């Protein structure tokens, strides 16, 4: 049996149903609790911390954005080796810490920039 979200094999007893779809446990958890990039309370809390420790994936994200000036979701997925759901959780955390922000690119695409880079 395969998960209908990520196509990973799963045992019948591991199957979870959400929205009429049969999901593995990881996809089920992601469906129940998706990453929220716009969460004022999380931003308020994160901005009041004395120190903000980054995990290795977050450091890679910040380094790539700093080097290039911006980075797309695809570029960040390639650089970190994370799938989209895991990457979005890291991006949400960085946005809550006010270290990165979303930006529209001239050609209409979307990317991420450093928070302090308002240009």
Could you report the per-residue pLDDT of 66-92, keeping only the tens digit for each?
999 999 999 999 999 999 888 998 998
Q: Note the pTM of the prediction, 2 decimals.
A: 0.68
- Does residue 3 contact residue 24 with C-beta atoms inside 8 Å? yes
Angle at 59 between CA 71 and CA 27, to 5 degrees: 75
Exposure string of 54-71, with b = 16+ CB inside 10 Å and e = fewer, is eeebbebbbebbeeeebb
Distance CA 37, CA 23 (A): 24
Q: How many helices (H) and strands (E) does the chain have?
A: 5, 4
CA–chain centroid gap for 8, Å, is 20
The full set of domains in the chain, from first to last, is 1-33 (no CATH), 34-114 (1.10.10.10)
pLDDT of residue 43: 61
pLDDT digits (tens, 9 = 90+) for 32-41: 776 666 666 6
How far, in Å, CA of 21 to CA of 4, rounded?
6
Name the phi and psi angles at 51, rounded to 5: -130, 150
């Amino acid at each position: 049996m395969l998960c209908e979200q990520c196509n990973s094999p799963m045992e019948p007893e591991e199957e979870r149903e959400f929205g009429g779809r049969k999901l593995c446990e990881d996809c089920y958890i992601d469906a129940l609790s998706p990453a929220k990039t716009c969460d004022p309370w999380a931003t308020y809390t994160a901005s009041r911390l004395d120190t903000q420790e980054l995990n290795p994936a977050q450091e890679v994200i910040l380094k790539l954005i700093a080097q290039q000036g911006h980075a797309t979701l695809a570029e960040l997925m390639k650089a970190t080796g994370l799938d989209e759901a895991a990457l979005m959780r890291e991006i949400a955390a960085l946005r809550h810490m006010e270290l990165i922000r979303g930006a529209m690119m001239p050609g209409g695409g979307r990317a991420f920039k450093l928070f302090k880079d308002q240009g």
